[in-house]
């Protein structure tokens, strides 16, 4: 199983291959939002781009 590591959170999780990263983050309690975007985002409807993440 793939392992997803959230460096800012200092946490790692196993997930299924092909999982939706945004939905997985929500499931494990990690937010992709920072600052004011925690309140002003589009809730995953692909309008604002504030839930973009960096894949390393």
**pLDDT tens digits for range 1-36:** 899 999 988 999 999 999 999 899 999 999 888 889
Domain residue limits at 47: 1-56
b vs e for 8-44, b when ≥16 Cβ sit within 10 Å of the residue's Cβ?
A: eeeeebeeeeeeeeeeebeeeeeebeeeeeeeebeee
What distances in angstroms separate CA 1 from CA 13, 14, 23, 54, one per listed residue? 10, 6, 17, 20
CB 38 within 8 A of CB 20: no
Give the number of residues written for the chain. Answer: 56
Answer yes or no: pTM beyond 0.75: no
How many structural domains are present in the chain?
Answer: 1
Tell me: pLDDT of 53 over 90. no
């Amino acid at each position: 199983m793939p392992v997803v590591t959230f460096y800012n959170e200092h946490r790692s999780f196993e997930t299924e291959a092909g999982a939706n990263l945004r939905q997985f983050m929500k499931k494990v309690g990690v937010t992709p939002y920072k600052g004011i975007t925690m309140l002003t985002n589009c809730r995953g409807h692909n309008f604002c781009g504030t839930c973009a993440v960096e894949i390393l």
